Amino acid sequence: MNVTRLIAIACIFAATSAGWIILGTSTQLRSINFGQRLSGKVEDLYGARLLQGAPTFAVQIPGTEQVRWLMPVQNDIKVSLATDYRKKGLLWYPTYKCSFDGAYTIVNSEDVTQKVRIHFNFPAKGGTYDNFAIMVDGAPLSVPINTHEGVGEIVELPAGATRTFSVRYDTRGLGEWRYQVDPNVGRVQNLTLAVATNFTNYDYPEGGWSATTADKSGGGMMLLWKTTDLITDQDIGVIVPEKLNPGPLTSRITFFAPVCLLFFFILVMTINILYEINIHPMHYLFVAAGFFAFHLLLSYLAGVVNIHVSFIISAIVSVVLVTSYLSAALQGRLPWKVAVAGQLFFLVLFSYSFFLKGITGLTVAIGAVVTLAVLMRVTAHVDWNEVFARKGSNLPVQEAKEATHVVSG
């Protein structure tokens, strides 16, 4: 081992790292371009983000153009959210099926009959709605429907009478579902809103009002918002969990690749020193190419094959390439089990940690500390002055010593 070889290895490492940056950037741009180009199409095909506003109830004040807003005395809402993921290009979109069923009870506390203007807005303008029904006291209303402008109707409410306005529909959405109380009153009474999901890893939108109770139900959750009298401007909402996206994931794995290669190069150098094997910089070059093959295959397989299957195929190819090459090039002197273990640890395990959300950094940190501990242990008795004093040779160190002894004899 000498300075010239170290410089050559460093240049190989830098060149391979540059290749990974180009590959990672290319994959990232492909994902972004697909996302920008297809997001509108996905919304047209499968629905947009849904924001369901509470219906409004208003009574016009006689002799004026002003209105008095009525607040329902009872709000009973049932919602079902079921994931229905759709894939376009390198991206999975968190689309879902939504069933909405809301009932709102209003009371005329005046001594005279009032005409109440009811207005209901759809959660997504221009969306598609199946099994739609709008009723008053269970009687369907035959009114024109315009999803852009909503539905409006005037209902007569006798003195002291109670009416229940209800609406239900099935539709599809994307990403998240929200419910907004009537901003005209800013208050909601006797609210019971139940959201049933077929997923458990839910979340709430930023600034949203979290559920009063959240219980597991079958393979999903039953989220319940219940209150008797609440003043709020917060939305009620649920974020649909995203599926693992192959494009962004492979980009992150590729950008992290130089760290994996650096650890493996250190392992190879350690083997070079401990086993006195003369490993040439060209060997490092082909090892780097074997590592690069993993990310190259993963980047393009992920677009056509399941991401986990792509990962397994790419890992097997890379490990076989590197291990078989080192064993053949070094004529069996390399401890191939150590090389396989090193590549499985530094390349496969470190890369797979990106599949496990939230623990990637911890995995790499633990791996780095374990690697440091092992290297410190096995090289504790190495004479580094002797190591760096050796001249490069095409022969292993032991063979070079024997050749020197024969010549001197």
- Look at 354 and 46; give whichever has higher pLDDT: 354
Predicted local confidence at residue 402, as pLDDT: 41
Amino acid at 93: Y
The rounded Cα 88 to chain-centroid distance in angstroms is: 15
Predicted local confidence at residue 302, as pLDDT: 83
Spatial distance between the Cα atoms of 154 and 188, rounded to a whole number of angstroms: 22
| Beta-strand relationship, 50-53 and 176-180 | parallel
Predicted local confidence at residue 249, as pLDDT: 87
What phi and psi values does residue 191 have, to the nearest 5 degrees? -90, 130
The mean pLDDT value for 75-84 works out to 95
Spatial distance between the Cα atoms of 235 and 233, rounded to a whole number of angstroms: 7
- Look at 3 and 219; give whichever has higher pLDDT: 219
Question: Does residue 114 contact residue 162 with C-beta atoms inside 8 Å?
Answer: no
pLDDT digits (tens, 9 = 90+) for 154-191: 888 888 899 999 999 999 999 899 999 988 888 899 99
Domains of the chain: 3-32+245-403 (no CATH), 50-239 (2.60.40.3680)
- Among 135-139, 250-254, 355-359, the least confident range: 355-359
**For the chain, how long is the longest CA-to-CA vector?**
125
